[in-house]
Amino acid sequence: MAATRQDTERDLTDRVRDLLRRHDPGTTEPRDFRGALFDSGLARVNYPPGLGGLGLPQGFQELVDTLLGAAGAPALLKQHNGIGLGMAAPTILAFGTEDQKRELLRPIFTNDHVYCQLFSEPEAGSDLASVATRAQRDGNDWSITGQKVWTSGAHHADMAILLARSDPGLPKHAGLTYFLVDMRSAGVEVRPLRQLTGEAEFNEVFLTDVRVPDSHRLGEIGQGWKVATTTLNNERVAIGSGAPREGGMIGKVAATWRENPQWRHPAMHDRLMRLWVDAEAIRITGERLRQQLEVGQPGPEGSGMKVLFARAAQAISGFDLELRGADGLRYDDWTMRRPDKVDYTGRGPGYRYLRAKGNSIEGGTSEILRNVIAERVLGLEAERRVDKDTAWKDLPR
C-alpha cells in the first residue's frame, strides 16, 4: 500500500528527531551537523538516497527546514555558497558520474567547497557561446588558459564551474566542454572589480595553463553548452525566487512604511500596494518553478522569473529612496569591501538601490532573457543567426 502524505510527514519528523538526538545542534560543530544532515538524506529530500536526499518530492523540504530551524540547527549557507547549492549541485546531479556525485556533492552541503562561476568573458557575456577560454587535452588532464569576468565570490571560492572551448574547429555551441576547477590550482589569479556600490564582490579571473583532471570534466566532451544551459536555468530560478511572503526588498520597504507615518502620502500608498502585489505574484511564481524541479530540471520559464525579479527589485528600491526624501540620498559607506556573500537587501537603502542595478545583468541580461522567453517559451520565430554553422575559429572577433 502506497504511503500517504501524512505517513511521509511522520517519517520525516522521526528522521529529524533522530538526527537531532544523535547530533545536538548546541554541541555539534556546524560543519559536522551539515555533514550528518546530508548523510541522513535531509539536506535535499528530493535528491537520491545516499546523495543528500530520500527521493521525495521537493515540497517536503519545507517541513524538514521548519523542524530544524525550531531546534536551532545550523542552516545551509545559501547566501555564502549560493552558486554551489543553487547551481553546481543540481548540475553535478544531472550530469555527473556516480563517482563525481559521491565525491563532489557532500562538500558543497558541508560548505567545504564554496563555488564560483567562470562563464562570462570580456567579449562573451550575453553571447556566452562565444567564450574563448581554451581547454586542451593533455593525457589524463586538461590545460586551461583564458580570462573570465564578473565572477561573484571568486576571492573566497574553493571550486569553480567553468565553460571552456575544447574544439575551435566546431561551431561555437558545439565546441564547448564543462569543467569543475580547483580555485587553489597553480595558474589561477583573481583580481577585484570595484562596483558602483563601492565594494568588490565581482572579480576578473585569469587562468594560465591551469591543470584540471579529466575526472573533473562534467558531461561529455563537446557537451558543455547543454550542461551550461542546465546551470543557467537553475541560476535564474535561484536568483529570482526563494524569499518568503513580504520578504526580500518589499519586506524592507513595507517595514519602513509602517514605522515612519510622517513619510506616508496617498499617492505613495497606491504605488506601494502595486509593488507589494507584484512581489507577491513573483513569490508565487517562484514557488511554482521550484515545484517544477520535482519532476526534472527547470525549463526556460526561469528566464521570465529572473526578468520579473530584476524589474521589481529596481522599482521597489527606487520607491524606497523616494519615500525617504532627502534621507534617501545618504549613503552609508563607500569603503572598498570584499564581501563573502551577496546580500541584495543588506545595508542601507542607497546600497540596495545601487546593487539592484546589477540584477538585470547578472544571471543573464534582461534583453537576452526576453529572447529566451520569446523563442523557447512562446514559440516565436527565432532571430536569424548567421554564425550557427560556422566554425568558431572562423568567426570575426
Is 235 known to be catalytic?
yes
Closest CA to 75 of 106, 111, 102: 111
| Burial category of 89 from C-beta neighbours within 10 Å (exposed 0-12, middle 13-18, buried 19 and up) | buried
Cα separation, 303 vs 299, in Å, equals 9
Residue 150 DSSP class: S
For residue 92 the three cell numbers come to 553535478
Cα separation, 394 vs 397, in Å, equals 9
C-alpha distances in Å from residue 288, one per residue of 55, 276, 311: 19, 19, 19
**Residue tagged active-site, from 235, 294, 362, 381:** 235
Closest CA to 241 of 292, 174, 167, 173: 292
Q: Which long-range contacts does 89-94 make (Cβ < 8 Å, 24+ apart)?
A: 89/44, 90/230, 90/234, 90/293, 90/297, 91/161, 91/178, 91/218, 91/227, 91/230, 91/231, 91/234, 92/180, 92/218, 93/47, 93/48, 93/51, 94/227, 94/230, 94/297
379: left (phi over 0), alpha (psi -120 to 50) or beta: left
Dump the DSSP string for 60-126: GHHHHHHHHHHTTPPPP-TTTTHHIIIIIHHHHHHH--HHHHHHHHHHHHHTSS-EEEE--BTTBSS
- Number of helices and strands in the chain (H, E): 12, 8
| Burial category of 366 from C-beta neighbours within 10 Å (exposed 0-12, middle 13-18, buried 19 and up) | middle
Residue 14 DSSP class: H
What angle is formed at CA 68 by the lines to CA 62 and CA 74, rounded to 5 degrees? 115
* Residue type at position 315: A
Please tell me whether residue 204 adopts helix, strand or coil conformation.
strand
- Active site members: 235
